[in-house]
Amino acid sequence: MLTHSEAFALLNRSDNILILTHRNPDGDAVGSMFALYYLLKNLGKTVRCIIDDVSKSLSFPMAKDAFGDFEPDFIVTVDVADNKLLTNDTLALYGERVDLAIDHHAANKPFSKELLLDSTAAAACEVLYDMIKQAGLEITPDMANSLYLGISTDTGCFRYPNTTARTLLAASELVSAGADNGEINRIVFETKTREYVHFEALAMNSLKTYYDGKCAVLVLRQDMFRKTGVSEEDTHGIAALPRQIEGVLVGIVIKERTDGTYKISMRTNDPVCASDICAVFGGGGHRLAAGCELSGTESEVVSAVLKAVGEELGAI
């Protein structure tokens, strides 16, 4: 395991660097990828990125010239807890060749030559922020906007209990360095399309509770996406809704994919550990926010997840 300054030294003596992040990219994936991109470009490196489809509201940090054919000499991943979370294409090409992984997931499964892991950081962007600060480098407005995006999205805009005094101090310094927090928050947290408002209402109608109201489940079906015109990558925010209901310890969103598999997003309140439950199905994440994937019919998937939740709740 590297220190922040060792990781920076390794990046600083490399060139022709390829940055990868996990599939189904969230704000921290996009933000940490482009914060690192701008940092390395400013250091005179040649850098390219590979990223899956990004929700429009999270795409503002992306540099157009960051993409294109490239033979890398050094490969770095950001916010990737396990190389299985890379896209299939990227996994096949680069999955076994990663030189450095920069991450903040306690459940990280090492897959790279070197690892910079700080599981006390709220976001991969907080790890990068610390690395940049310790290296004594200036944070440009592009870097500040990217880092702010990752930190704000991974903390639910500073709502979630992973938000520490350090996280808020980093956010303060990023705003001083030029992060346009008001505008980013407006785009990411305060803007819903009419279609999304419709989608959310449909989804909330599917809400069911189990185990005396301790577990709430929303199912997002393909027909809801079709009916409203909302795309899957625009529904990250919905994962937070079931846990918001009073008395709920385990909030679950089960998303039907086009290939018939299901993606499970789980948010828990203390003392329930989300990553323990998701680990039953080969998934992972954080103590209060984790995910996994299942195959089967909808009712099989719901039953399997509820059984694991019940075992964790000690209710069965």
Point out which residues bind its own copies (CB under 8 A). 156-169, 171-173, 175-176, 181-183, 185-186, 189-194, 197, 201, 204, 207, 240, 243-246, 269
User: Would you say 16 or 269 has its CB closer to its own copies?
Assistant: 269
Q: How far is the CB of 183 from its own copies (least distance, A)?
A: 8
User: Would you say 175 or 279 has its CB closer to its own copies?
Assistant: 175
Closest among 90, 26, 8 to 286, alpha carbons compared: 26
Q: How far is the CB of 191 from its own copies (least distance, A)?
A: 5
User: Would you say 190 or 311 has its CB closer to its own copies?
Assistant: 190
Apex 51 CA angle, 290 and 232, nearest 5:
55
Apex 306 CA angle, 308 and 297, nearest 5:
110
Helix 27-42 vs helix 141-154: angle between axes, to the nearest 10 degrees? 160
User: Would you say 216 or 264 has its CB closer to its own copies?
Assistant: 216
Amino acid at 168: L
Q: How far is the CB of 287 from its own copies (least distance, A)?
A: 12
User: Would you say 89 or 190 has its CB closer to its own copies?
Assistant: 190
Distance between CA atoms of residues 307 and 37, nearest Å: 43
Burial (CB count within 10 angstroms: exposed 0-12, middle 13-18, buried 19+), residue 138: exposed
276, 265 in Cβ contact below 8 A? no
Q: How far is the CB of 197 from its own copies (least distance, A)?
A: 6
Q: How far is the CB of 232 from its own copies (least distance, A)?
A: 18
